[in-house]
Chains A and B, each alone.
Chain A
Amino acid sequence: MSSLISVNNLTRHYGDFCAVNNISFELAAGDILGFLGPNGAGKSSTMQMLSGNLAPTFGGISINGIDLLENPKAAKASLGYLPENPPLYKEMTVTEYLQFCARLHLISKSQLDNVCDSAIERCGLGDVRQRLIRNLSKGYQQRVGIAQAILHSPPVIILDEPTVGLDPIQILEIRQLIKTLGETHGIILCTHILPEVQAVCNRVQIINQGSLVYTSGIEELLNKQSTRYDISLASYVDEEKLASHDAFSKIERIDDHRFIADTELSAEQLSAYIVKQEWGLTRFEPRQTSLEQIFIDITTGDTGVTEENLGDESLQTASLEVNT
């Protein structure tokens, strides 16, 4: 089956500044792709290009098999887009607004009411359908924005920070909605709320300074064996002594008794090893390779991906996955 979105060597310059540098990726049906990156990394520029709001300097985008640049109208018909700021005409009521959006998306007059009603129901807007958008709270406005993006059941849905301004219960509802939608649609979720990505997405991409620096399935990420341990030992063991043992590839001292150790051994093997050495193990904690850790590791490097960054354990696997 062909992919819903395929992006090839997408590049965008603003004058001399390169906001998006040669990124390529694909989105298949049933994928919920979490698109992560710090502020100014090029997330929104990429989303704007995917939605036809911004022309790429270089590179190709095809949506549902149709080239966005050559045949924009047909390509955009398969697209639902919620930008960072929901594009709401605040002087209209929710129903009026959604009907206008439905007309824009070529939905026939006979289908209009059905389509709007189902979007209103899915986003929980039933109580406010006759209210002016201007008078709605931020959370409800955000939901109207989401309703607008899923209205015409497009194969591809791009959501740029959809849960901003929602209360915790609404966030759960919207996440549930996104998950449900993800079964039948391809979704790109742009956010910097990391738990959200872990909760909803099945794939993750991290973009930093315009380049894609990390791609992975969320399952692989969560199941990945920990290779880093936080251990506290009795005082008579020092850093050099630990480093002289082959079991550890890297030792980092935190204070007199506490070390961060990188090793090939599993938690079971390592604890047995340390006990056997009689170092007086007082504390032993495997470090999770959480998304947060990867995110921070990648995005705090000054120049994005450097060799040095990739020397890091967790990133070595990451870079392998980028290549695959």
Chain B
Amino acid sequence: MILAIAKREFRSMFFSPLAWVILAVIQIILAWSFFTSVDYFFSIQSELTTIKNAPGVTDLIATPLFEVASIILLMVIPLLTMRLISEEKRSKTISLLLSSPVSISEIVIGKYLGLLFFICTLLLLITLMPLSLSIGTELDLTKIFSGVLGLFLMLAAFSAAGLYMSSLTDNPMIAAISTFGLLLFLWLLNNNTASGGGTNVLTYLSLHTHFAPLLRGILNTRDIAYFLLFIAGFIVLAIRQLETQRLQS
């Protein structure tokens, strides 16, 4: 049942122009960013040969690409998540799901999986760009893998937060704006704390703190656990939220 819901969710994204437009826009922007990184790499290539332990193609092209992608998607994911539940509530289609023999957890997880399928598509398109360099040079594939994993976890975390925000309201716009606000706040947490001590907790809570090591190729269970907990936490909140609405509405 979860899969039936996930499949419908995934397909319905492509029924509207939104998904296509988002894929296209992201691809264009990232392609431009990719292109400038490649250009920059060529301009400093001669200097690199003189440095000992110089950064490689992967560090100079793939890593910045993932970094840029994460920032752009911070703004785009709320647009994808906003309709997940709020639209169902607004058009009353949620009563179809609620009167079917499926539990609320299955509905929420199904919808989340549907979105993850879309994110995988997006991620595939992004990853193809640095991978195309392997025609001409040798890449640090494990580092790329780590970066892709980091980006995936990051986007999955964004989506989980967006899913929860979408369950709170029946207005997609409000869901999008509050998701964006929450994500930006969580992202910025670590920048504020650069100056002072005693803010380790805040730094730890920031999404970026856990994303950066993965980009650098450091696979740390602590970071992965953070993302998984983040995702699970928001999914459970969304389920609870829908349960409560059934009691109160």
Do A and B form a real pair?
Answer: yes
Say yes or no: A89-B12 contact (C-beta < 8 A), given A53-B246, A54-B249.
yes
Given contacts A51-B98, A92-B12, A106-B1, could you give 5 more A-B pairs where the C-beta distance is less than 8 Å? Answer: A55-B246, A73-B103, A85-B91, A89-B93, A101-B96
Say yes or no: B16 contacts A77, CB within 8 Å: no
Q: Contact residues of B with A, CB < 8 Å?
A: 1, 4-5, 8, 12, 15-16, 91-103, 246-247, 249
Provide the bound-state CA to CA distance between A58 and B36, in Å: 65
The DSSP consensus for interface residues of chain A is loop
Provide the bound-state CA to CA distance between A90 and B83, in Å: 14
**Which of B15, B91, B97, B99 has the most chain A CB atoms inside 10 A of its CB?**
B99
Partner of B1, one of A54, A87, A104: A104
Provide the bound-state CA to CA distance between A88 and B99, in Å: 14
Residue pairs across A and B with CB atoms within 8 Å: the count is 68
A140 at the binding interface (Cβ < 8 Å): no
Provide the bound-state CA to CA distance between A48 and B248, in Å: 13
Say yes or no: B16 contacts A87, CB within 8 Å: no
Q: What residues of B have a CB within 8 angstroms of the CB of A52 in the complex? A: 98-99
Partner of B101, one of A77, A87, A92: A77
Residue of A nearest to B247 (CB): A55
Q: What residues of B have a CB within 8 angstroms of the CB of A178 in the complex? A: none
Interface residues of A in 88-133 (CB under 8 A from B): 88-92, 100-101, 103-106
Q: Report the interface size for chain A: residues with CB under 8 A from the other chain.
A: 28
Q: What residues of B have a CB within 8 angstroms of the CB of A48 in the complex? A: 95
Residue of B nearest to A101 (CB): B96
Residue contacts A-B, CB under 8 angstroms, 30 given: A51-B95, A52-B98, A52-B99, A53-B95, A53-B98, A54-B249, A55-B246, A73-B102, A74-B101, A76-B100, A79-B99, A81-B99, A83-B92, A83-B95, A85-B92, A87-B92, A88-B93, A89-B8, A89-B93, A90-B91, A92-B8, A100-B8, A103-B1, A103-B4, A104-B1, A104-B96, A104-B97, A105-B100, A105-B101, A148-B96
Residue of A nearest to B244 (CB): A55
**Which of B8, B246, B247 has the most chain A CB atoms inside 10 A of its CB?**
B8
Interface residues of A in 192-217 (CB under 8 A from B): none
Say yes or no: A51 contacts B99, CB within 8 Å: yes
Q: Give A288 Cβ to nearest chain B Cβ, in Å.
A: 38
Question: A124-161 interface mask toward B, CB cutoff 8 Å, 1 = contact, 0 = none?
Answer: 00000000000000000000000010000000000000
Residue of B nearest to A102 (CB): B4
Say yes or no: A91-B99 contact (C-beta < 8 A), given A54-B249, A55-B246, A104-B4.
no
Shortest 5 CB-CB contacts between residues of A and residues of B: A87-B96, A103-B4, A91-B15, A51-B99, A104-B100
Say yes or no: A87 contacts B15, CB within 8 Å: no
Q: What residues of B have a CB within 8 angstroms of the CB of A280 in the complex? A: none
Provide the bound-state CA to CA distance between A101 and B91, in Å: 16
Provide the bound-state CA to CA distance between A243 and B247, in Å: 56
A65 at the binding interface (Cβ < 8 Å): no
Residue of B nearest to A89 (CB): B93
Question: A32-58 interface mask toward B, CB cutoff 8 Å, 1 = contact, 0 = none?
Answer: 000000000000000010011111000
Provide the bound-state CA to CA distance between A103 and B101, in Å: 10
Provide the bound-state CA to CA distance between A251 and B16, in Å: 68
Provide the bound-state CA to CA distance between A92 and B14, in Å: 11
Q: What residues of B have a CB within 8 angstroms of the CB of A91 in the complex? A: 12, 15-16
Residue of A nearest to B4 (CB): A103
Provide the bound-state CA to CA distance between A74 and B102, in Å: 9
A72 at the binding interface (Cβ < 8 Å): yes
Provide the bound-state CA to CA distance between A231 and B248, in Å: 54
Say yes or no: A81-B95 contact (C-beta < 8 A), given A73-B102, A76-B100, A91-B16.
yes
Q: What residues of A have a CB within 8 angstroms of the CB of B101 in the complex? A: 72-74, 76-77, 104-106
Provide the bound-state CA to CA distance between A92 and B203, in Å: 45
Q: What residues of A have a CB within 8 angstroms of the CB of B100 in the complex? A: 76, 101, 104-105
Provide the bound-state CA to CA distance between A88 and B8, in Å: 13
Q: Give A59 Cβ to nearest chain B Cβ, in Å.
A: 14
Q: What residues of B have a CB within 8 angstroms of the CB of A53 in the complex? A: 95, 98-99, 246
